[in-house]
Amino acid sequence: MAAVTATAARDYERASSGALMPWPMAFVVAPLVLHRPTRRVLPISTRTHLANWVAAHPVLVAGMGARCTSLASPVREGLRFGLRHQMLTIEHGFLKSSIPAKSHPRGELADLIKAASLMGRWTSKSEPSTVFALLGVRP
């Protein structure tokens, strides 16, 4: 969970020219990345607008609230782990990642890291309130 959040935060910062990822975004990234049916239909690039993706996948989005709720405790634990092990820091309510860009995970972990990277870049293109609203969840 810490690696997923740290990857998303790292790539959010890169894609937004230095703006850091709001910490509540970790609670949205995890359900999108960890839910295999959702992860499989994520776009391959950030050119797809989030609103268009949401409109094309209403069944997956309908379950977001329940997935966010069920993953809240693991996300909090992942944040604590990432902070304790200097994978993440919090700066004025935003997450900053300190993990390197080059890693070579294998198997399902590679899929999770790739999806987390996409989510970081993708969510950086919209206001957090817009992301939460489109996905039908509240911070």
- pLDDT tens readout for residues 11-57: 999 999 999 999 999 999 999 999 999 999 999 999 999 999 999 99
pLDDT at 131 over 80: yes
Cβ count within 10 A of residue 5: 30
With beta carbons less than 8 A apart as the criterion, state whether 77 and 85 touch.
Answer: no
pTM of the model: 0.92
Alpha-carbon gap, residue 4 to 106, rounded angstroms? 14
With bands split at pLDDT 50, 70 and 90, how would you rate the model's confidence at 107?
confident
Alpha-carbon gap, residue 51 to 14, rounded angstroms? 22
> How many domains is the chain built from?
1
pLDDT at 139 over 80: no
Q: Domain range spanning residue 60?
A: 1-135
pLDDT attached to residue 63: 92
Phi, psi torsion values for 17, nearest 5 degrees = 55, 45
Phi, psi torsion values for 22, nearest 5 degrees = -60, 135
Phi, psi torsion values for 62, nearest 5 degrees = -60, -30
pLDDT at 10 over 90: yes
With beta carbons less than 8 A apart as the criterion, state whether 93 and 23 touch.
Answer: yes
Alpha-carbon gap, residue 136 to 139, rounded angstroms? 10
With beta carbons less than 8 A apart as the criterion, state whether 9 and 120 touch.
Answer: yes
Chain position carrying tokens 């609203």: 133
